Structure 1
Amino acid sequence: MNRVVHPIEQESYRRLRARLDTSRFPPLTRAVVERVVHSAADLEYATDLVMDEGDLVKAHAALHAGAPVVVDVEMVGAGITRRETVCRLKDAVAGPGLTRSAHGMRLAYQEVGPGALWVIGNAPTALEELLTLDADPALVIGLPVGFVGAVESKAALRESGLPAVSNVSEKGGSAVAAAALNALLYHPTSEETL
């Protein structure tokens, strides 16, 4: 099903591309970079984001085949416009050495098992907890924001070898994490381009 793009969004992308040459990126990387830059109106994401096109191709296929999407907070889920998401934060409780966000990741893993796409835009502790689980993710979009733990958790994600979209700086947040997932949702499948 093709998505109808509003004229304001079309003009926004035209202006973005006039200021930022994204033609050097492979297709899915370009889609993620552009959607994240668009969501934050921040051109620096073009050099801040870290991802691998091969990982994105596999994640795109898994997503369009119906793999579950897990989010760390409901705000990330609210930004994902074409899929239902799993968020267990409301059921989570904090404990000694465990934040609610981390517990929410445990609960979500118990619900969805391996092979999901994980979208973390808020809590570094959620990303840290995910890295301790045997989640075998299709993709981890790890873009938590903040001055405490965000950079470190994203570095740990990249070092883990898991298929991922992350960034180097403290920047991130619900909107950009949802945008990265939406880029994969909106990108056509081979059947849609025939």
Structure 2
Amino acid sequence: MNRIVHPIEQESFRRLRARLDTSHLPPLTRAVVERVIHSAADLEYASDLVLAEADLVPAHAALHAGAPVVVDVEMVAAGITRRETVCRLKDATSGPGLTRSAHAIRLAYEEVGPGALWVIGCAPTALEELLTLDADPALVIGLPVGFVGAAESKAALRESGLPAVSNVSEKGGSAVAAAALNALLYQPISPEETL
């Protein structure tokens, strides 16, 4: 089923493309960059995001094949359209050396196992915890926001070698993390991915 795009969204993307040329980007990279910029009305994401088409293609295939989507907070889940997500924050507790967000990531991993897409848009400690697990993710969208630990956790994600979408700065958040996943959801499956 094709997604119906509202005229306001069409005009918004037309204006975005008038201000920023993204035509040189590979298709999935372009989709993610544009949707993240659109979600925040922030053109700086074009130079702040770190992602690779080689990571996005298999993640896109896994997503459309039904791989689980895990989020760190309900705000990220609320922004993801057309897909159920796993969020265990309500079941998590905090303790010495372990934040509630980190515990929620452990609980989610116990539920979904390897191969999931992880979307972290709020808590740097959730991203840090994910990096300690043997999650073998299809993709990690690591865009937590904040002045404490956000940039550092995203740098650790990039250093991990896991397939990822991240950014260099302290900015991020639930809306942009959900937008990055939605960009992949909205892209149809190409003939090459069905082979």
- Is TM (by shorter chain) over 0.5? yes
What letter corresponds to residue 185 of structure 2 in structure 1? L
Aligned with 1:85: secondary structure? Answer: coil
What letter corresponds to residue 188 of structure 1 in structure 2? P
Residue correspondence of structure 1 range 153-164 to structure 2 within 5 A = 153-164=153-164
What letter corresponds to residue 175 of structure 1 in structure 2? A
The answer to whether 1:35 aligns with 2:35 is yes
Residue correspondence of structure 1 range 60-71 to structure 2 within 5 A = 60-71=60-71
The alignment's TM-score, normalised by the length of structure 2, stands at 0.97
Deviations 1:73-102 (A, max 9, x none): 000000000100000000000010000000
Percent of residue pairs identical = 89
Aligned with 1:98: secondary structure? Answer: coil
The alignment's TM-score, normalised by the length of structure 1, stands at 0.98
The answer to whether 1:185 aligns with 2:185 is yes
Residue correspondence of structure 1 range 21-100 to structure 2 within 5 A = 21-100=21-100
What letter corresponds to residue 180 of structure 2 in structure 1? A
Aligned to 1:19: 19
Deviations 1:81-131 (A, max 9, x none): 010000000000001000000000000000000000000000000000000
What letter corresponds to residue 142 of structure 2 in structure 1? G
Deviations 1:136-165 (A, max 9, x none): 000000000000000000000000000000
What letter corresponds to residue 30 of structure 2 in structure 1? R
Offset of 1:190 from its aligned partner? 1.9
The answer to whether 1:5 aligns with 2:33 is no
Offset of 1:24 from its aligned partner? 1.4
Runs of 4+ that moved beyond 4 A: none
Unmatched tracts of structure 1, length 5 or more = none
Deviations 1:42-68 (A, max 9, x none): 000000000110110000000000000
Superposition CA RMSD, Å: 1.2
